[in-house]
Amino acid sequence: MGRVYLVGAGPGDAGLITRKGLEKLQSCDAVVYDRLISEELLDYVSEDCEKIYVGKEKGRHSKNQEEINRILIDCGHRYDMVVRLKGGDPFVFGRGGEEFEALCQAGITCEVIPGVTSAVAVPECAGIPVTHRGMARSFHVITGHTEEASGIPDYDYETLAKLEGTIVFLMGLSHLSELTGRLIAAGKSVVTPVAVISKGTMTGQQVVRGNLENIVQRVEEKGLRPPAVIVIGETAQLFMQAEQEIEEGASASGKRIGVVATDLLWKKLKNGFRKMGVCPQQICSMEVCPTAEMELLRRELQHLERYKWILFTSQNGVSLFFEEVKRNRIDFRSFTDIRFGVLGSGTADKLLEYGFHADFVPSDYKISTLAEEFPRILGQGESVLIPRAIQGSPVLIEALRRQQADFCELGIYDVTGHLIGNIDDLSSMDYLVFASASGVTEFFCEVEKVGFILSEKVKIVCIGEVTEQKLADLHGRADRIATVNNTEGILQAVRDMAGL
């Protein structure tokens, strides 16, 4: 029987989790996480930690509360340490109390690790204190959504209207008109300051200010989307931030970029985009999955003397190949007479991490250039081993066949993906970046499932000819193609397109 920790992840910014919460996350065997937690926090869990997503959003529930409780109980039985990672604080409108009770009734030890609640942190990070001397001596936190049929909280609005402190509504953006209207009807002054903060503490934060009478119109004009915190009271008119801070969004340029890539590539792109002054958000997370042909690779590793060349078209192929070499205890001296070819500089760098220099890199980092140039350097009777993705371009293979080259192509991995966060965030994106053809396939398959149609206003940036062709097939266009098939190539393509 294990122990389950209900850990508050904070209001959104990964840096606002507590030290104790992060320590538990780093050592847990399984993590059960919500939609509103920062995906960056999952980078801290160990490689063998099971990650279970149970996010919920209005109209598209992944799991209901009873199912989540059962998952937690099951994990508590199977693992020694489980982290239930919840946005904000577990006991502030997070149904953490229900989960605690369910675990205790199942005989599983449960411990709560508090988190920074969005009720205080989101306004604070937008420059709004919830209390201030001479202005607000108290604050009141209220849920803006209920499980009733209408979803509209049926409070004693006359009492709320008489409160002298700050009122903070959580999860109430879709009912903003009803909330403000009923407060006015109950006697609250129409000029009472109001601030609505969307995506507080996160990339793309937006703040709209007004009063009870005009805030609904202003929010609609700005197109704010959940998650959002509503602050009503005199402190909502304050702005306690350094002058250089940007209130309307988290970037200097105001540009927002969605990324469809593996977690490893996302981390590299994220840092690059932030240095450029734009707001990146991972839209679809891609996962590299070994295929059944890994078994064929194991057989070929026992007969490396057959090959004169090993050709890699991606960093993923390099990593999976050499990790399999290690698992099978293959002596690196077996590669003494083997030469290595790679598609681009990024793949060459990955190969060097395992101690090997690339003997061949095409003059242009395109699969068509590789297909044109590589067959020319093959000697008579030289065999080539090509471990790559099962969705690899046929151009290279067709070129080798035309030359009647001796080669063994193994589709040792596939790439699958799933959408992250709120799909409606795509509506506010300026650019969408695709790092692979498989990412294009997975993305459009996932958005079709939820009935989302990508706006023509979103500019598409991609890497490589294969990805470009897949976009042409599924979306009809790609607006900019990276001239170099690596991270810097993508970043430069966005710089050129955005004029940064």
Query: How large is the angle between the packed helices 176-185 and 215-222, nearest 10 degrees?
Result: 170
Q: For residue 229, what pLDDT is reported?
A: 96
Q: For residue 148, what pLDDT is reported?
A: 57
56 classed as catalytic: yes
Q: Report whether pLDDT(321) > 60.
A: yes
Q: Are 177 and 216 in contact (CB under 8 A)?
A: yes
Q: Report whether pLDDT(243) > 80.
A: no
Residue 176 corresponds to which tokens in the numbers above? 């903003």
DSSP 82-124: EEEEESB-TTSSS-HHHHHHHHHHTT-EEEEE----HHHHHHH
Mean pLDDT of 294-308: 94
d(CA 38, CA 265): 17
What proportion of the chain, given as a percentage, has pLDDT over 70? Answer: 93
d(CA 399, CA 352): 27
Q: For residue 154, what pLDDT is reported?
A: 77
- Given pLDDT bands bounded at 50, 70 and 90, which one contains residue 341? very high
Q: Are 209 and 236 in contact (CB under 8 A)?
A: yes
- Given pLDDT bands bounded at 50, 70 and 90, which one contains residue 254? low
Mean pLDDT of 300-314: 94
- Closest by Cα among 237, 88, 94 to 166: 237
Q: Report whether pLDDT(23) > 90.
A: yes
Q: For residue 440, what pLDDT is reported?
A: 92
Q: Beta strands of 375-488 (E only): which ranges? A: 383-389, 406-419, 431-434, 459-463, 480-482
Q: Are 286 and 438 in contact (CB under 8 A)?
A: yes
Mean pLDDT of 303-315: 93
Q: For residue 242, what pLDDT is reported?
A: 55
- Closest by Cα among 488, 437, 85 to 496: 488
d(CA 296, CA 374): 24
Domain boundary assignment for the chain? 3-115, 120-237, 251-500
Dihedrals φ, ψ of 166, to 5°? -90, 135
Read off the pLDDT of residues 190-232 as tens digits, 9 standing for 90 and up: 999 999 999 898 877 889 999 999 999 999 998 888 889 999 9
Q: Is CATH 1.20.810.10 the classification given to domain 251-500? A: no
Average pLDDT taken over every residue of the chain: 88
Q: From the candidates 56, 63, 267, 308, which is the catalytic residue?
A: 56
Q: For residue 278, what pLDDT is reported?
A: 81
Dihedrals φ, ψ of 142, to 5°? -135, 140
34 classed as catalytic: yes
Q: Which CATH superfamily is domain 3-115 in?
A: Tetrapyrrole methylase, N-terminal domain (3.40.1010.10)
Angle at 250 between CA 54 and CA 196, to 5 degrees: 70
d(CA 447, CA 434): 14
Q: From the candidates 13, 24, 86, 171, which is the catalytic residue?
A: 171
Q: For residue 247, what pLDDT is reported?
A: 40
Q: For residue 388, what pLDDT is reported?
A: 93
Q: For residue 149, what pLDDT is reported?
A: 52
171 classed as catalytic: yes
Q: For residue 235, what pLDDT is reported?
A: 94
- Given pLDDT bands bounded at 50, 70 and 90, which one contains residue 186? very high
- Given pLDDT bands bounded at 50, 70 and 90, which one contains residue 56? low
Q: Report whether pLDDT(25) > 50.
A: yes
Q: C-alpha distances in angstroms, 133 versus 125, 130, 375, 472?
A: 19, 10, 77, 60
Cross-strand partners of 477: none
Read off the pLDDT of residues 110-150 as tens digits, 9 standing for 90 and up: 999 999 999 999 999 999 999 998 899 999 999 876 655 55
Mean pLDDT of 240-268: 67
Q: Report whether pLDDT(60) > 70.
A: no
**Which range is least confidently modeled, 3-7, 410-414, 425-429?**
425-429
d(CA 2, CA 381): 59
Q: For residue 465, what pLDDT is reported?
A: 81
Q: From the candidates 13, 34, 89, 430, which is the catalytic residue?
A: 34
Read off the pLDDT of residues 359-378 as tens digits, 9 standing for 90 and up: 999 988 788 889 999 999 99
Read off the pLDDT of residues 432-452 as tens digits, 9 standing for 90 and up: 999 888 889 989 988 888 888
Cross-strand partners of 30: 50, 82
Read off the pLDDT of residues 276-288 as tens digits, 9 standing for 90 and up: 878 788 888 888 8
Compare 204 and 465 and report the one with higher pLDDT. 465
Q: Report whether pLDDT(45) > 80.
A: yes
Count of beta carbons in the 10 Å neighbourhood of residue 353: 11
Count of beta carbons in the 10 Å neighbourhood of residue 413: 24
Mean pLDDT of 83-102: 94
**Which range is least confidently modeled, 19-23, 242-246, 382-386?**
242-246
Mean pLDDT of 235-251: 62
Mean pLDDT of 3-12: 95
Q: For residue 286, what pLDDT is reported?
A: 86
CATH class, 120-237 region: alpha beta
